[in-house]
Every structure is written in structure tokens, then in C-alpha cells.
């Protein structure tokens, strides 16, 4: 008699949990396509001294995404900050690198021209602080060029340049999805 009361309850519990278990199973199989979205680099709201994001985080089987922010002193020609970039290759783990900024500001101008539009530009040197990319070792240096168009135009860009070991992270992000803040002189 007691067994008859447990069986419907068990069946109901299984019926209620089946969609959840299916969802967990699907999430587990899609795990190769989940990323940290640069979680260790916070998104700064408002206007930072300098900062950028390259649009929405990756949602498909391939792609890349980056963001960063920091402080700048144009009078002293110094800069600081943190950046991250995620590179996704089909059927492989995401490759995430976190970078710090070398304090010397390589170049900046309020009178730059890129993509046929005027804007602010700055060039910085970055050093890989942490990496899940086996080819891109901690300590590797690269360059980043940030361009923020002005006068109501949305043609911002962020370009990463790395040596051969980190070549998978050489990316150009450009267009209306890129949101860039580069300070004027």
C-alpha cells in the first residue's frame, strides 16, 4: 500500500525534473562554447579616462571579444590599465588572455584620421598577465591601437598586434559595435 503512494510521487518528481536535467545535459555539451567574457576585467560604466569594449560577447562557435579600461595622464605621457581578449576556435577551448598596460604611452593625438573620419587615437604596449592559450605565454608583449571617432560618427576601432607566439590574438575590431573612449589632448 505504501509503495503505491511513493510511485506516483516519484513519477511526478521525475516528470518535474526531466526538463531541468535535459537543460543541464545541454549546457554540459555546450560547455566548449561558454566563455568567461573577461569576467576579471570589470565593465566600467560612465566615462572612464580611457576604455573600450568590442561589442557583445561571443555567442557562436567561433569569434573573438575584448574589453579594457584604465587611467591616463597626457601631461606625463603615462597610462595604466587592464585588458582582456577571448578568441574562440570551433570545437576547442576558448583562449583567454589578460593584459596589463606598460606605463609609457607610446602615442596619442586629438587630430587623428582613421577609416576616413577624424578622432582621438592612442597607442599602448601591453604585457600578457595570464593566459589560457598554450601558445601565448605570460610575459609576451604586444601593442594596441585605440581609435575613437568623434563628431557623431560611430567608426571606433581597437587593434591588437602580437608576435608569432600570440598571433591568434592579432585582431581588428572596427565599426558601430565597438565602443571606445580615448581622451583628447
Q: What is the pLDDT of residues 155-184, one digit of tens each?
A: 999 999 999 999 989 999 998 889 888 887
pLDDT digits (tens, 9 = 90+) for 141-153: 999 999 999 887 7
pLDDT digits (tens, 9 = 90+) for 7-28: 444 443 333 333 333 333 323 3
pLDDT at 99: 97
C-alpha cell at 10: 516519484
| Higher per-residue confidence, 23 vs 39 | 39
Check whether residue 172 and residue 129 sit in a common domain. Answer: yes
Torsions phi, psi of 24, nearest 5? -65, -40
Check whether residue 27 and residue 43 sit in a common domain. Answer: no
**Nearest alpha-carbon partner for 67 in 185, 182, 178:** 178
Check whether residue 122 and residue 51 sit in a common domain. Answer: yes
**CA dihedral defined by 5, 7, 12, 18, rounded to 10 degrees?**
160
Check whether residue 123 and residue 43 sit in a common domain. Answer: yes
Check whether residue 162 and residue 74 sit in a common domain. Answer: yes
Check whether residue 28 and residue 101 sit in a common domain. Answer: no
CB atoms within 10 A of CB 34: 11
Check whether residue 26 and residue 55 sit in a common domain. Answer: no
Q: Which domain holds residue 121?
A: 35-181
State how far the Cα of 32 lies from the Cα of 83, in Å rounded to an integer: 23
Check whether residue 13 and residue 47 sit in a common domain. Answer: no
Check whether residue 21 and residue 112 sit in a common domain. Answer: no
Check whether residue 77 and residue 6 sit in a common domain. Answer: no
Most confident of 75-79, 84-88, 124-128: 124-128
Residue 114: pLDDT over 80: yes
| Mean pLDDT, residues 125-137 | 95
pTM: predicted TM-score of the whole model, two decimal places: 0.77
| Mean pLDDT, residues 53-72 | 87
Check whether residue 43 and residue 118 sit in a common domain. Answer: yes
**CA dihedral defined by 76, 78, 80, 85, rounded to 10 degrees?**
150
Structurally, how many domains does the chain consist of?
2
Amino acid at each position: 500500500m505504501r509503495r503505491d503512494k511513493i510511485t506516483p510521487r516519484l513519477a511526478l518528481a521525475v516528470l518535474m525534473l526531466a526538463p531541468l536535467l535535459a537543460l543541464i545535459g545541454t549546457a554540459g555539451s555546450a560547455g566548449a562554447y561558454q566563455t568567461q567574457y573577461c569576467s576579471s576585467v570589470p565593465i566600467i560604466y560612465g566615462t572612464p579616462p580611457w576604455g573600450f569594449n568590442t561589442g557583445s560577447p561571443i555567442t557562436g562557435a567561433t569569434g573573438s571579444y575584448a574589453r579594457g579600461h584604465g587611467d591616463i595622464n597626457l601631461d606625463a605621457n603615462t597610462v595604466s590599465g587592464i585588458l582582456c581578449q577571448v578568441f574562440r576556435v570551433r570545437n576547442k577551448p576558448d583562449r583567454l588572455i589578460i593584459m596589463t598596460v606598460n606605463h609609457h604611452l607610446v602615442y596619442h593625438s586629438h587630430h587623428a584620421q582613421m577609416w576616413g573620419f577624424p578622432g582621438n587615437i592612442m597607442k599602448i604596449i601591453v604585457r600578457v598577465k595570464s593566459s589560457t592559450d598554450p601558445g601565448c605565454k605570460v610575459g609576451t608583449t604586444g601593442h594596441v591601437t585605440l581609435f575613437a571617432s568623434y563628431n557623431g560618427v560611430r567608426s571606433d576601432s581597437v587593434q591588437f598586434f602580437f608576435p608569432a607566439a600570440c598571433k591568434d590574438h592579432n585582431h581588428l575590431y572596427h565599426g558601430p559595435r565597438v565602443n571606445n573612449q580615448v581622451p583628447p589632448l
